[in-house]
Amino acid sequence: MTEQHSHEFERGTDGPKVIMVGVDGSDSSLRAAAYAGGLARRQHALLAVVYVQPVPAAGAALGAPVAGTTDEIAEDLVAQIRDAAERLKGIFEVRWEFHTFPGDPYNGLVQAADELKADAVVVGASEQAGHRIVGSVAVRLVKAGRWPVTVVP
């Protein structure tokens, strides 16, 4: 005779606490943010929106205003997210935070996921043709095998 254990559902204790989404202003990253926002709302999780700010290297040596441009992108992303959150206020409530991390997209997202203790990572599919050969940030995050990763087309 086998012993049977009854598994009781624990309300409010299952599911992710922090859902992280990487955004860079591309259409696929904004779709990923919308998708992650829906997940966070349904799971009552914190939505951590992360923009990885490229570190000025070659551009700075040539005198290009790289840092100013990436600051503008970050400010624009925050404004878009605030506008969307404001439009949904009273209909859908999502707790969210915006973070910037310096570096290349892959390492910046890894650092962010670790520091923010992300339970899940959502990113947009790469829109660059070269990533089919080299591998996109999304593929590298999946291969890292450290968090569940959802790639939004």
44-68: per-residue pLDDT in tens? 999 999 988 877 655 445 555 555 5
Backbone CA torsion sign across 65, 98, 100, 113: negative
Contact 110, 138 (CB under 8 A): no
Q: Is 106 in contact with 141 (CB distance < 8 Å)? A: yes
Average pLDDT over residues 104-120: 94
Residue 133 has a pLDDT of: 47
